């Protein structure tokens, strides 16, 4: 592929993903809760497949930090080492973080404790990023996070609005494949078809 053809292909992918993110940001909250990473990743895969874009699911551990927390972590070269220290940082500086460790917790989907994202043609797509939105603690996340990956291996560090920083660490866990939310269910496929139709309409 020549340089011009490659640039056109890259532009096409970028425009398609931007359109998908915009439409999914509108539609997904109507059908799913914010903690929708399994359903949202399946839907992302199905929609982009209709446009010929190969997409894979990637389980991750994710940590979302406000600007103060990121500054403290960078300055000290480490995260808080205990819940007590996290509370100390929050009370002293307003440092705050939220995330998914990959360990079982009561507020995560049964049977799948990690956070699932999609990877497509060098882009990271987190269609459930909104679950980490904590404006009271100066953490701001969109409904659908779309960003170009600057490296092939994790951690992937994403700078969000107002100093929010998101760190994604790839996990090897494959148990998401058998969890109900990730299946090609009628609900997921109907949602994917509706989003794909809207994306096509925006392109025409």
List pLDDT tens digits, range 118-146: 999 999 999 999 999 999 999 999 999 99
- The whole-number average pLDDT for the span 38-48 is 98
> pLDDT averaged over the chain?
93
Please indicate whether residue 113 or residue 181 has the higher confidence score (pLDDT).
Answer: 181
33's tokens: 């809760």
Q: How many CA atoms lie within 13 A of 12 on its CB side?
A: 10
57 φ, ψ (degrees, to nearest 5): -85, 145
Q: How far is CA 86 from the centre of its chain?
A: 24
Report pLDDT for 110.
56
Distance CA 155, CA 71 (A): 17
User: Which residue do the tokens 């927390």 mark?
Assistant: 69
Q: Apex CA 126: angle with CA 120 and CA 131, to 5°?
A: 170
In the chain, the domains with their CATH numbers are: 3-174+186-203 (3.10.550)
Q: How far is CA 127 from the centre of its chain?
A: 5
Bridge partners, residue 120, by sequence? 55, 123
Report pLDDT for 190.
98
Residues with Cβ within 8 Å of residue 17, at least 6 apart in sequence: 48, 120, 123, 125, 146
List pLDDT tens digits, range 158-175: 999 899 999 999 999 899
What pLDDT band is residue 183 in, cutting at 50, 70 and 90?
very high
Portion of the chain with pLDDT greater than 70, in percent:
96
Three-class SS state of 135 = helix
Report pLDDT for 47.
98
Residues with Cβ within 8 Å of residue 121, at least 6 apart in sequence: 13, 53, 54
List pLDDT tens digits, range 69-100: 999 999 999 999 999 999 999 999 999 999 99
Report pLDDT for 104.
65
Per residue in 20-53, is it b (16+ CB within 10 Å) or e — as a string? bbbbbbebbeebbebbbbbbbbbbbbbbbeebeb
E strand or H helix that includes residue 199: helix 186-203
């Amino acid at each position: 592929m020549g340089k011009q053809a490659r640039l056109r292909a890259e532009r096409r992918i970028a425009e398609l993903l931007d359109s998908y993110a915009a439409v999914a940001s509108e539609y997904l909250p109507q059908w799913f809760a914010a903690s929708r990473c399994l359903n949202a990743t399946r839907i992302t895969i199905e929609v982009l497949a209709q446009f010929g874009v190969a997409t894979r699911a990637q389980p991750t551990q994710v940590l979302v930090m406000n600007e103060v927390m990121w500054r403290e972590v960078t300055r000290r070269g480490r995260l808080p080492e205990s819940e007590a220290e996290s509370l100390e940082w929050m009370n002293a500086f307003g440092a705050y973080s939220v995330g998914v460790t990959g360990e079982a917790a009561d507020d995560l989907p049964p049977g799948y404790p990690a956070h699932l994202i999609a990877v497509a043609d060098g882009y990271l797509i987190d269609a459930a990023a909104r679950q980490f939105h904590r404006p009271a603690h100066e953490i701001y996340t969109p409904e659908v996070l779309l960003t170009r990956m600057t490296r092939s291996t994790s951690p992937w560090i994403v700078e969000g609005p107002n100093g929010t920083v998101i760190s994604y660490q790839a996990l090897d866990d494959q148990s998401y494949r058998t969890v109900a939310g990730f299946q090609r269910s009628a609900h997921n496929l109907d949602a994917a078809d509706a989003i794909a139709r809207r994306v096509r309409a925006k392109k025409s």
